[in-house]
Amino acid sequence: MLLRVQPGRMDITTQRVAIVTGGSRGIGRHAAERLAADGLAVVVGYGGGKVEAQEAVAAITAAGGKAIAVQADVADESAVAALFDAAEREFGGVDVVVHAAGQMVLSTVVDLDLADLDRMHRTNIRGTFVVDQQAARRVRAGGAIVNFSSTMTRLQVPTYAGYAASKGAVEAVTLILARELRGRDITVNAVAPGPTATALYFDGKDEATIARAAAQPPLERLGTPADIAEVVSFLAGPARWVNGQVIYTNGGIA
């Protein structure tokens, strides 16, 4: 249980605290459980998956960790402020923010319903901005902000234009915020997973498409949520000299 108080030194007297948006399922849940295993108290932020969020909290507490679940629409500034309020009220502050909430709608440019585009960008772009705004105001010195981009920003894969555009915006916000927090001893990075075995990834894909994706990396498999959570753990804790970066976590696709 660690709280960094100044560069190069640790104080083991105070437990660090993490907020994980999208923490009720998929990569977000694995990140929440990994951070709890690392000794952090965790606030599991969720949108609509109340039962799943409660299950995540139960899993963390059963393993000896501390966690609560808080509902928040990540694009609603009042709801996100209340999420941070809950973390501060329950655990005394915020040291790590992992923004894993996101939406993915796949379609060619010519066929994409603009309502779906707006909904996806509201969560992925506005949501990132709103969460990062609160994080920039509240994360304590020695803390970390971890956003989620996607390897699809580097690959010109048909049907991903709207989603990749939203994740390109996440990268821009991440890199600029890292520089705006100069002097605060807070790192800001983004993780950019490749194809990862989650419900979000499998939705709408046939077996042949999934098999082709699994064959792409030199490691010849899809990523797992645990693979991604390992990188989140690194950025949230020991990676104090990694800042303003996009970490492509894809088994070697690109």
Residues classed as catalytic: 163
CA gap 189, 145 in Å, rounded:
6
Check if the beta carbon of residue 186 is closer than 8 Å to that of residue 174.
no
Q: What does the DSSP assignment read for the chain? A: --EEEETTEEETTS--EEEEETTTSHHHHHHHHHHHHTT-EEEEEESS-HHHHHHHHHHHHHTT--EEEEE--TT-HHHHHHHHHHHHHHHS---EEEE---------TTT--HHHHHHHHIIIIIHHHHHHHHHHHHPPTT-EEEEE--GGGTS--TT-HHHHHHHHHHHHHHHHHHHHTTTS--EEEEEEE-SB-SHHHHTT--HHHHHHHHHSSTT-S-B-HHHHHHHHHHHHTT-TT--S-EEEESTT--
57: phi then psi, degrees, rounded to nearest 5: -60, -45
